[in-house]
Structures are given as structure tokens and as C-alpha cells.
Structure 1
Amino acid sequence: MVALNLTHSDPTTFILMGISGMEDVHGWISIPFSTSYIISLLGNFMILFFVGKEQTLHKPMYLLLCMLALTDITKSSTVVPKALCIFWFNLKGITMGGCLTQIFFLHSLSFVQSAVLMIMAIDRYVAICNPLRYATILTNARIAMLGLAGLVRAVFFMLPLPLTLSRLPFCDNHIIPHTHCEHLLVAKISCGDITFNRTYSLVMPFVLMGSDLMLIALSYGLIIRAVFRISSKGAHQKAFSTCTAHICVMLMSYIPIFFISLTIRFSGDITPHGRIIVSVLYHLVPPVLNPIIYGVKTQELREKLGKYTCRR
């Protein structure tokens, strides 16, 4: 009743229902969510600290790791605090402005992350196929410019999402069956024409992320061709080892986002709470695992961690 009264009395407020069908266990669900969020913050801030503190880590590869860490911190912080407010305090209301801001950041950061992963693939290609020219081809300034270009691209193409949503009429239904605002879910509860929203939100991920994936595939195709021209098995293992972390991070990033994008449109046999859990995990699990993966696979980061741990 409170939610219904709020819906009618304040047309600029939406109601986030959390994980539908699992309201009775929201408290228990919040434990792994909050724990994972804290671990993700610690891991990503440690990467930022080590790279910022150590002059020897001021290299393109670690600059890209910092970009990925910043993206992970911002993305998880856009979703998890509000979800925990729902789980712990039943604070389900979110203003129109807050909802549109959340949508803009979530979608923009997904495309920024995709751009960073694409630049990482180019970095791996240059490091393996042109190692002698690596320092001249990929400077810190060029990596920063590429990262900025990825950010500008994401902002430019994602700005229409909140702008078009803000112009849609919302009638009686202001209830969003999710822990956070998703563009298409918000559009679906509108009583206006959402043809543009449906089309734009379907086309843009495939155009932008599709172009990133094409460049990634091209980079890895050239890497594989160069590696198999080398007769040494040791060189093969070393080359593929430098790409393992990046491949793992890509799989964790791209597979869930395409899954979420498609299941919002085509329900199939997937339960609503199943889609919500996958969506939240997409914004939470990669930020937890990315620092661990790169920490394990990157010798210099392990050495810096050991250095500070032994010092203390």
C-alpha cells in the first residue's frame, strides 16, 4: 500500500522491488553482495595505489589496468549501494533524476569497459608482434588519448537513453521489478511509444561492442598467426600466458551483458529473479575477480604486493 500511495502521489518517483520472488531472503542475499562489494573496492583501489605509488609501473599496460579498475569501482558503486538499501532498509523509492542518472552511468560504463578491453587487446598485439617498437607505438599519452576517446564515445552514444526516457509519459505503473534502473525495463512501464528505445538499446550494443569485438578478434588473430610462426614451445607458452588474464576478463564482461540484453527482450524460460541475479552479478563479480586475475597473472603486481606486505 505504501508503494502504491507513493506511486500516485509522486509521479517523479519509481519503486525498485529488489529481487522479485525472493523478498523473504533479501537479508541473506545482502551478505554475499556486501562482502563482494567490499572485496572489489579493496582490490581495485589496491591496483590504483600500487600503480600510482610505484614509478616502475607507469607503463601503458598498468595505465589500462587503472582504467579498468576505475570503471569497475564506478560501475559496482552505481548498483550495489542502492541494492543494499533495498535489502537492508526497504528503501525502494528512487527519483526520476536518480533513475536516469543510474541508467546513464551503467550503460556508459559498460561501453567504456568494452573500449578498455579493446585497447588491451591492441596492447597485447603490439607487445607480442612488435616488441621492439612497443615503447614507441604505445606511449602513456597515446593510451590516455585512446581511453578518453572511449569515454567520449560512450557518453555521446548513451546520452540519448536518459534524454528520451525523460520525455516518455508514465501513468499508474511506476514499479520496476529490479534492484536498479535498467533502460528497457523503465521504458516498458511507460504508457508512451517506446519503439525508439527498443531499437536504440538493441542496435547500440551490437554496433559499439560488435566493433570492439571485431578489433579484439583481429588482434588475437594476428597474435595467433605470429605465435605459430615461432618454433619454440616456450615462446608459445609465454605469449599465450600474457593473454590469459585479458581473455578471462573479456569472457566475464561480454557474455553476461549480451545475455542480459537479450533476456530483457525475450523472456523464454528464464525466471525474473534469475535475470535480476545475473544482472547484478555482472556488475559485481568482474570488479571482484579482475584485480585477482591480474594480480595472479602479473608478476610485477605480485612483487609490489609482496613488497608492501613484507614491509608491514
Structure 2
Amino acid sequence: MAGLVRRRSLLQAFRACTADRERVCRLSALCFSSPLCGRDHNAPDKSSFARTRAAVRHYSSDPKDDLRVRYLDGEDAGIVVVGLNRPKAKNAISKNLVKMMYDAVEDIKKNNKVRSVILCSLVPGIFCAGADLKERAKMHQSEVGPFVSKARALITELGNLPMPIIAAIDGAALGGGLEMALACDIRIAANSAKMGLVEAKLAIIPGAGGTQRLPRAIGVSLAKELIFAAKVVDGIEACRLGLVNHSVEQNESGDAAYLRALELSREINPQGPIAVRMAKLAINQGIEVDLSTGLAIEEACYSQVIPTKDRLEGLAAFKEKRRPHFKGE
């Protein structure tokens, strides 16, 4: 009976995540004015792409530019790039950035055409410096708790996106910045990137999931060492610890981690989108419970892919020795 209840709850969660399948995203006002993260199909080599991307970075003090969201098209249709863009504040997490990210996450979550998301920075040398301490200093003490709660909830929502999300860490990811990256499914860092939960230096603790997600990523003892000593590690050490999946040599344009994340998104995109979403749900839910319950969760997720047109397309493509064309149906 308990297993049945869990399955029903899981199915309800899945239906909520896949509602409004045909809804068109409403983020046109936030999209880039130029092909910042788009792919140049006429000249697809990485160096040309990197130069193009670096050349059109935008810097602005206008709050509406704090976050830039781009839905890629052409061969990269299905990839969404979410770019942090607060150069003067080192992408620090402000009230406005939290609001804009909430709106972006909500729209991405409801768009069934999205197959993967890349969270990156548009500011060279920085991913996110954590909380906006200048803004925090102006808050009344009674405002701090609610704001931290809202930031924590945002990062949780980010991690709960039904499709894979990759953090491309091309620069410093400290405090809340690393907590944001920890909520992503996969992390890729430049060798020169700096990462750490350094809140103890300010006589506080990580408040947006760091004390929970870091131990799950690298183990309890190592997480304690990094948090207690406010240690900062580079991309190479982070990869050794298991904090990031890949560490790559930084390039001249400062977006090597982003380019590697884009490559990975292109590997994910051709796979069955419903299957990928169900695999993420099964892993995320199953890792928190005992094996028996986890297997029941996997069974419930598997049952969701059986009646899909994509599953039949996959079988037909295998039989006909051709590449499958999945539609998320």
C-alpha cells in the first residue's frame, strides 16, 4: 500500500511538471539582442564560436539586464542558456536577480520543448560571488531571514527543473554561487575557477542548501573540512574531490566551461526527452530513500515511458538502423 501511495504521488508530480505541453515561452523580453550563445552553423569550430560569444558580451547597470535567457535554435533547439549578468556586482545574488531567476525557471519548467539548460556567467572571470553583501548591509535584520529563505527556495526550484541543468563555472563560485551550482545536475569548471562555501569567514553558515548538497556531492567528511575551514579550491581540485564532473583548461575568451557544457547539452539533446526527464526524477527521488523504495520509484518512472510515441520511434529506428527522431511525445 505504501508503495502504491508513493507511485501515485510520483505520477502526480510528473503530471504537474509536464502540464501545458504546448505553451510557448514568454521570455522574449529577456532574450539576448544578439546571438550571444547561439551556434554559428556556417563556422562551427570552437575557436570561432568562442570569439563570437566573447565579442558580444553585454555589460549594463540596468536591473533588467541582470539575467539574460536565450532559447537556442536550429540544431541546438531545445537548449536554454541562462546567463548571469551583473558585472559590477560580480553576479552577486540580489533581490532583483532572485526575482528574475524565479520567472525564468517557471517559464523553462513549463516548456516541454526544453531538453537541457546551461547556467553560466556572461561576466569574465566570475560565476557568482554569492550573496550581494552591499544590498544585505542595507536590509533590516528582519528582512534577512525571509530573503535567505526565498533564495534557498529559488535554488531548490532550479534543482527541481524536470530537464537536466548544467552549471558552467568559468570563474569564481563562492558561497551562494557555489550553492546555486550544487543544485544543478552536472557541473563543469575551468581549471582556474575558484569554488568554496566561505560563509564561516562572515560568522554565518551556508544558508541556501550548501550544508546539505555539498556532503551529498563529495561526502560528509570532506564537506565538513571545506565548510569549517572556508576552503577555496580550483577546478582541478574540485574535479578530484567530485565537486565537478569535468575540469577544462581555460581559453582566451574565458568561456571554456561553457563550451564544454554546450558540447554535453548537444550529447543529451538527441536522447528521448521524456526518458531523460524520468531518469532524472528517478535518480533524484531514489537517492533519498532506501533501495526498495527507490526501485518502486524507478518502476513508476519506467511506466511513464512505456506508452510514449518516442519509445516506439526508438524501437523502429533500431530495427531500421537509422537515427531516431524523438518529439517528446
The TM-score, its normalising length taken from structure 2, stands at 0.28
In terms of Rg, which structure is larger? 1
Higher strand share: 2
Higher helix share: 1
Relative contact order, higher structure (CA 8 A, sep 6+): 1
